[in-house]
Structure 1
Amino acid sequence: MTQTIVAILLWVLVASLLIVRRKRADRSITYAATTIAVAMTLNVDTVYTAVDPLFGGTNIATLIADTLLMIGLFFLGRGVMHAGEYRPRLVRATVSLPTLLVALVAITVAFMFIDRGHTTTQFMADLGNQPATATYSIINFLYCGIVIAAMLVLAARQYRSARGVQRIPAALLTLGSAFGVALCTAVLVMDVAHVTGQIDLMQAVQPAYSVLSLLTFLFLCAGFTAQPLVRRAQHYARRRQTAALADRLEPLWDRATQVRPGLTHADPLATSEDDPEGLLHRKIVEIRDAMIDGRVAFTTSDDERALLEDAERHLLGNDRSATDPTALAPRSEASPDRRRTS
Structure 2
Amino acid sequence: MWLLVLALLVLRRGRVERTITWAAVTIAISMTLNIDAVYLALDAAAGGSNVVTLVADLALMTGVFLLGRGVMKAADHPPRAVRIALSRVVFGAAVFSASIAFFLIERGATTTNFMLDLGQQPAAAVYSMIHFTYYAVVLGAMAVVASEQVRVSHGILALPPALLVAGCGFGISLTIDIIVMDLAHLAGNTGLMSTAAVFYGPLYLLTFLLLCSGFAGQPFARAVRTRRRERTTRELAARLAPVWQAASDVHPGISRNAEAVFDADDPETLLHRQVVEIRDAMIDTRVAFAVRGADLQSLEDAERHLVGESATPATSTRVRQ
Same topology, TM > 0.5: yes
Instruction: Report the TM-score when normalising by structure 2.
Output: 0.92
Give yes or no for the alignment of 1:196 onto 2:187: yes
The corresponding residue for 1:339 is none
CA contact (8 A) 1:86 1:157 kept: no
State the shift of 1:36 in Å. 0.3
One-letter identity of the residue aligned with 1:177 = C
Give yes or no for the alignment of 1:213 onto 2:204: yes
CA contact (8 A) 2:160 2:217 kept: yes
Q: What SS does structure 1 have at the residue aligned with 2:291?
A: strand
The corresponding residue for 1:324 is none
CA contact (8 A) 2:254 2:260 kept: no
The corresponding residue for 1:229 is 220
Alpha carbons of 1:16 and 1:268: their partners in 2 closer, same or farther (altered >3 Å)?
farther
Within the candidate set 265, 269, 273, 2:256 is matched to 265
Paired with 1:46 and 1:207, the residues of 2 have a C-alpha distance of 25
Question: What are the residue-to-residue correspondences of 1:160-179 with 2, within 5 Å?
Answer: 160-179=151-170
CA contact (8 A) 2:164 2:215 kept: yes
Give yes or no for the alignment of 1:106 onto 2:97: yes
State the shift of 1:118 in Å. 1.2
Within the candidate set 124, 129, 138, 1:133 is matched to 124
Give yes or no for the alignment of 1:159 onto 2:145: no
CA contact (8 A) 1:114 1:133 kept: yes
Task: Please list every run of 5 or more consecutive structure 2 residues that lacks an aligned counterpart in the other structure.
Answer: 312-320
Task: Please list every run of 5 or more consecutive structure 1 residues that lacks an aligned counterpart in the other structure.
Answer: 1-9, 321-341
Question: What are the residue-to-residue correspondences of 1:65-76 with 2, within 5 Å?
Answer: 65-76=56-67
Paired with 1:211 and 1:144, the residues of 2 have a C-alpha distance of 18
Q: Which 10-residue stretch deviates more, 159-168 or 211-220?
A: 159-168
Q: Which 10-residue stretch deviates more, 307-316 or 240-249?
A: 307-316
One-letter identity of the residue aligned with 2:92 = L
The corresponding residue for 2:285 is 294
Percent pairwise identity? 49
Q: Which runs of 4+ in 1 moved over 6 A?
A: none
Please list the CA deviations of residues 80-115 of structure 1 after superposition, one character each: whole Å capped at 9, or x if unmatched.
222233511111111111110010000011111111
One-letter identity of the residue aligned with 1:15 = L
Question: What are the residue-to-residue correspondences of 1:37-56 with 2, within 5 Å?
Answer: 37-56=28-47
CA contact (8 A) 1:91 1:150 kept: yes
One-letter identity of the residue aligned with 1:289 = D
Within the candidate set 223, 227, 248, 2:239 is matched to 248
Instruction: Report the TM-score when normalising by structure 1.
Output: 0.87
Q: What SS does structure 1 have at the residue aligned with 2:218?
A: helix
Paired with 1:86 and 1:154, the residues of 2 have a C-alpha distance of 9
CA contact (8 A) 1:110 1:133 kept: yes
The corresponding residue for 1:280 is 271
Count of residue pairs the alignment pairs up: 312
Paired with 1:113 and 1:45, the residues of 2 have a C-alpha distance of 24
